[in-house]
Chain A
Amino acid sequence: MFELPQPFFLNALAAGAALAIVAAPLGCIIVWRRMAYVGETLAQSSLLGVALGLSLGIDLTLAVVIAAVATAAILIGFGRQKLLALDSVLGLMHHAALALGVVAIAVLKGPSIDLMSYLFGDVFAVTTIDLLWVYIGGAVILALTLQLWRPLVRLSLHEDLATAEGIHPSIPRAIFDILLAITIAVAMKIVGILLVMAFLIVPAVAARPLATTPERMAIIAAVIGVASVFVGLGLSLYTDAPGGPSIVLAMCAAAILSLLVMGRRAG
């Protein structure tokens, strides 16, 4: 007969689905603002957070949040200088952060630590405490994102127009960067450092051809994200493939399908 899912599987589903919903509007704004590289840098600085957590003996998620937020603060500072395009700075920073993280973990703890679980996530190891992080943190992030939604859409659309109409550009953006850092730190657990940006961006890309307004794009991205979590984890359960990459694969399949079928029509 039908087998009841194991608790670890339910935990993974609950965490993944919640994160997919939180990630959807953020992912849309990342796509609109073309800041995938910023997210990548935040994600790869997470490994430094892991090293920090291990060396200080504090909660790893908290340590990763601290590292990501600190990186976001540095990036906000870099955004103010106009000598170099942010892209060039990020190109250097995100590789440096990854390399430094790997070296720091190796030096601190020896090679016994499972680097793979940080790089690609370990969704089936999600604990009840992790779930708490996801739900409380996720609710706060979602609430703040919705609060900032209109200014962020207007700034993404045309910064000068939004500014002339009285929106101060740097405040919503700085808050958004910090929200993004926290989201990445929390989502890292599930899909890992290397795939967390895909988790954020791919559902938004998949939703773009299907949407006519910014809000619909975010909602469709959330639906695609949640569906991909279910499909990916189901696939993972029956094939023993790793969970995080399976979710991302399902998302990518949705994006390719959407772009192929609808892309031409939506233009």
Chain B
Amino acid sequence: MSNTKLHVSDEHRHDHAHDHDHAHDDACGCGHTHSRQLDNHALVSARGLAFSRHGRTILSGIDLDVRPGEIVTLIGPNGAGKTTLVKLVLGIESPDSGTVLMPPSTRIGYVPQRFDVQRAIPMTVAHFLALGQNAAPGAITAALKDVGAERTANQQLSQLSGGETQRVLIARALLRNPNLLVLDEPARGVDYVGEADLYDLIGRIRDERKLGVLLISHDLHVVMAKSDRVICLNGHVCCSGQPETVAQHAEYARLFGPQAASALGVYLHHHDHAHDLSGAPKPMRAGDQDNRGR
């Protein structure tokens, strides 16, 4: 009898050993096991979200809070379920289980990942901005100016560059006067310089408007520079916390594999730059320098 029991529990442990990441979660202690209670003061609070498609589990056991004034960044490899999680939070998809609490006072500005403008739809930028809300013409011009895209007002949406499109989408989101800005890979299709500008813009918007930001990014360097909290996602929350904590986490390194080192190198480079301005440079890791030297 006791033998059987032991055997069962052995098997049980074996099952969990497959789920490598859960073990790490407990070890790191910064995962989702902390607070199971929904956060009433958050702009959006989710607990225990699970989602599967075609019988394949995409997300399980996800907790997420975004509070006013903080930038929360989701990172994770392709197929980690980042976009799906955002869609659950926004109510575009419904979770199989779990709860999303969004107080009525939360106003969402959403910048979707893909905005492949259908050329079949004629649409000027100004018209696109007016479509979502009853904004005065002056407000539209002001919003475009705010994101540095005032010259695009009379252009067709389909003729914008990647960076211009993102700025216009952000302007549109801001016109809704949101207190929660959700951006899904906003730097997609934007060159490196444009990318840095774009994240500066997002940081500035947060500072000026004191809104909460939920950001999906695979650009690790930017994540480190601007985020208040990073959530490392791979079907579940692998680890989360302050950027420095997550960067040193074993799970993070495992998840991003060989690229992690070089990405971190970019991060440190960027971080150096940021700190040069404020006068507190940070030493680089030997491994990263190695990697960059090649």
Chain B, residue nearest A82 (CB): B54
Q: What's the minimum C-beta distance from A182 to chain B, rounded to whole angstroms?
A: 24
Chain B CB within 8 A of A31 CB:
yes
The answer to whether A212 and B122 touch (CB under 8 A), given A153-B131, A164-B90, A164-B92, is yes
> Residue among B108, B112, B182 with the most chain A CB within 10 A?
B112
Chain A, residue nearest B176 (CB): A165
Question: Could you tell me the distance between the alpha carbons of A32 and B122 in the complex, rounded to whole angstroms?
Answer: 10
Chain A CB within 8 A of B136 CB:
no
Question: Could you tell me the distance between the alpha carbons of A165 and B176 in the complex, rounded to whole angstroms?
Answer: 9
Chain B CB within 8 A of A161 CB:
yes
Q: Which of A14-22, A103-111, A118-126, A213-221 contacts B (4 or more CB under 8 A)?
A: A213-221
Which applies to chain A's interface (DSSP): helix, strand, loop or mixed? helix
Query: Contact string, A1-39, partner B, CB cutoff 8 A, digits 1/0?
Result: 000000000000000000000000000000110100000
The answer to whether A157 and B123 touch (CB under 8 A), given A150-B131, A164-B108, A212-B156, is yes
Chain A, residue nearest B182 (CB): A164
Seen from chain B, the residues whose Cβ lies within 8 Å of a Cβ on chain A are 87, 90-92, 108, 110, 112, 115, 117-124, 127-128, 131-132, 156, 158-159, 176, 182
Chain B residues near A163 (CB, 8 Å)?
A: 90-92
Chain A residues near B123 (CB, 8 Å)?
A: 157, 213-214
Q: Which of A153, A156, A158, A208 contacts B112 (CB 8 A)?
A: A158
Chain B CB within 8 A of A249 CB:
no
Q: Are B132 and A32 in contact (CB under 8 A)?
A: no
Chain A, residue nearest B126 (CB): A213
8 Å CB interface, A117-159 against B: 150, 153-154, 156-158
Chain B residues near A211 (CB, 8 Å)?
A: 122
Q: Which of A34, A164, A214 contacts B122 (CB 8 A)?
A: A214
Chain B CB within 8 A of A77 CB:
no
Question: Could you tell me the distance between the alpha carbons of A153 and B159 in the complex, rounded to whole angstroms?
Answer: 19
The number of residue pairs between A and B whose CB atoms lie closer than 8 Å in the complex comes to: 65
Q: Are A212 and B124 in contact (CB under 8 A)?
A: yes
Q: Are B91 and A153 in contact (CB under 8 A)?
A: no
Q: Are A158 and B115 in contact (CB under 8 A)?
A: yes
Chain B CB within 8 A of A57 CB:
no
Q: What's the minimum C-beta distance from A100 to chain B, rounded to whole angstroms?
A: 32
User: What are 10 A-B interface contacts by the 8 Å CB criterion?
Assistant: A32-B118, A32-B121, A154-B132, A161-B115, A163-B90, A163-B92, A164-B92, A165-B176, A212-B122, A212-B124
Chain A residues near B91 (CB, 8 Å)?
A: 163-164
Chain B residues near A216 (CB, 8 Å)?
A: 122
Question: Could you tell me the distance between the alpha carbons of A213 and B131 in the complex, rounded to whole angstroms?
Answer: 11
Question: Could you tell me the distance between the alpha carbons of A165 and B121 in the complex, rounded to whole angstroms?
Answer: 20
Query: Contact string, A196-220, partner B, CB cutoff 8 A, digits 1/0?
Result: 0000000000001001111011000
